[in-house]
A and B are shown apart, each in its own frame.
Chain A
Amino acid sequence: MSNVKSGLLYSKSHEWVQVVGDVATIGISDFAQAELGNVVFVDLPEVGASLHKEKEFGAVESVKAASDLISPVSGQVLEVNAGLVGEPELLNQDPYTHWLLKVKLSNIDELSKLLDAKSYEAFIK
Chain B
Amino acid sequence: MVNYTKLIFEQSVQGRMGYSLPEAVFPCYSIKQLSSSILRHSSLDLPEVSELDVLRHFTNISNKNHGVETGFYPLGSCTMKYNPKMNEEIASYPAFNQLHPLQSPLQVQGVLKVYDELSRILSEISGLAAYSLNPFAGSQGELTGLMIMKAYHESRGDFKRTKVLVPDSAHGTNPASVAVCGMQVIEIKSTDKGTVDLEDLKNHLSDEIAGMMLTNPNTIGIFEKDICEISKVVHETGGLMYYDGANLNALLGMARPGDMGFDIMHINLHKTFSTPHGGGGPGSGPVGVVEKLVSFLPNPRVKHQDGMYYVEHSKDALGQVSGFFGNFKVWLRAYVYILSLGKEHIKEVGPLATLNANYIKDSIKDDYYLPIEGFCMHECVFDGLIDQSTGVKTLDVAKRLLDFGFHAPTIYFPLLFHQSIMIEPTEVESKQTLDEFIQAMKLVAHEARTNPDVVKNAPHTTPISRIDEVYAAKKMILTYKDYLAECALQK
Contacts and interface: CB of A to CB of B under 8 A. Distances in A.
Contacts of B474: 40-41, 88-89
Contacts of A89: 474
Contacts of A41: 473-474
A66 to B, nearest CB: 11
Contacts of B470: 38, 40, 63
Interface in B355-371: none
How large, as a class, is the contact surface on chain A?
Answer: under 10
B373 interface: no
Nearest to B474: A40
Interface in A45-81: 61, 63
Interface in B461-479: 469-470, 473-474
Nearest to B475: A40
Contacts of B473: 40-41, 61, 63
B179 to A, nearest CB: 14
A61 B470 CA distance: 11
A1 B368 CA distance: 27
Contacts of B469: 63
A89 B474 CA distance: 10
B100 to A, nearest CB: 43
Interface string A28-42: 000000000010110
Nearest to A37: B470
A41 B470 CA distance: 10
Nearest to A40: B473
Nearest to A88: B474
A60 to B, nearest CB: 13
Contacts of A88: 474
B259 to A, nearest CB: 39
Interface in B434-453: none
A33 to B, nearest CB: 14
Interface in B230-273: none
Nearest to A92: B470
Interface string B213-231: 0000000000000000000
A111 B123 CA distance: 59
A63 B468 CA distance: 10
Interface in B6-57: none
Contacts of A38: 470
Contacts of A61: 473
Contacts of A63: 469-470, 473
B28 to A, nearest CB: 55
B399 to A, nearest CB: 15
A88 B470 CA distance: 11
A79 B352 CA distance: 63
Interface of A: 38, 40-41, 61, 63, 88-89
12 contacts: A38-B470, A40-B470, A40-B473, A40-B474, A41-B473, A41-B474, A61-B473, A63-B469, A63-B470, A63-B473, A88-B474, A89-B474
**Top 5 closest pairs, chain A to chain B, by CB:** A40-B473, A38-B470, A63-B469, A40-B474, A63-B473
Given A61-B473, A88-B474, A89-B474, 9 more contacts: A38-B470, A40-B470, A40-B473, A40-B474, A41-B473, A41-B474, A63-B469, A63-B470, A63-B473
